[in-house]
Amino acid sequence: MTRIDAKFAALKAEGKKAFVAYVMAGDPDFDRSLELVRGLPGAGVDVIELGLPFTDPMADGPTIQLAGQRALETGMTLDRTLELARLFRQGDDETPIVMMGYYNPIYSRGVDRFLEQAKAAGIDGLIIVDLPPEEDDELCLPAQKAGLNFIRLATPTTDDKRLPKVLQNTSGFVYYVSITGITGAAEAEATDVGPEVARIKAATDLPVIVGFGINTPEKSRTIASVADGAVVGSAIVGRIGSGAPVAEVLDFVKSLADAAHSA
């Protein structure tokens, strides 16, 4: 059982929805990023999504693109991202970390070497947005063999014919993308999301967490109420990008987490 599996089992036993926060590793710089990540569990975050900076983030909107750029400009690399996870793990052995990004840096490192390093750093799962199920032999299956969850995205365009393929080797949880498009592009609506979550849950026992388009505590609560939890990324990253102090960012995260937990 991974930390992700254990976390969702504990939340289910408590009758609580999950709150997942996305931050870009190294944004705005390594030290403040580490301080922020260390503060997320205390702000109510159940699972941390740690963005791996990349030069061509095709699924991301301007807010997260700029975060990746800021991180890269301060010297953030795959090794530094793993180091950040390692340092976080020195004080927290329970909160799951999901690394979210693109395949190129992993492919360049070599899959086996990357998985060994990620596992040693305390990474629990991967979301690699540009690897479809047809490429499961590349990373998904080796990751699961190494003890990491491989989390797949389902979208509004994932129809009933495609859904079984998407779910086939997914583990940890299913990430439902609430809108068609890039991150931060539109707002999620519970009336649209609810039936889609129900459709996915009819096909899998995994938790279904909803992300994209969630930017306020009220939205966090309403989306969590129709799913197993909510993910917020751009709204948090935007505050980091505006220069808000870490404590202020964490206060905002807490308001989102409290709202999701109250659903």
Point out the catalytic residue in the list 49, 124, 136, 228. 49
- Supply 111's token pair: 């899959």
| Helices within 122-261 (DSSP H only) | 140-145, 163-167, 190-201, 217-225, 234-241, 246-261
Choose among 239, 248, 241, 185: nearest CA to 214.
185
Report how far apart, in Å, the C-alpha atoms of 192 and of each of 8, 32, 200, 205 are. 24, 37, 13, 21
Distance CA 86, CA 139 (A): 22
Q: How far is CA 178 from CA 11, 152, 242, 251, in A?
A: 22, 14, 25, 25
Residue 180, classed as helix, strand or coil, is coil
Structure tokens that stand for 247 in this block: 């404590």
Q: At what angle do helices 234-241 and 246-261 cross, to 10 degrees?
A: 160
Question: What is the 8-class DSSP label of residue 230?
Answer: E
Annotated catalytic, 60?
yes
Query: Can 92 be counted among the known catalytic residues?
Result: no
Q: Cα(49)–Cα(72) distance, rounded to whole angstroms?
A: 18
**8-state DSSP, 241:** H
Residues labelled as active-site residues: 49, 60
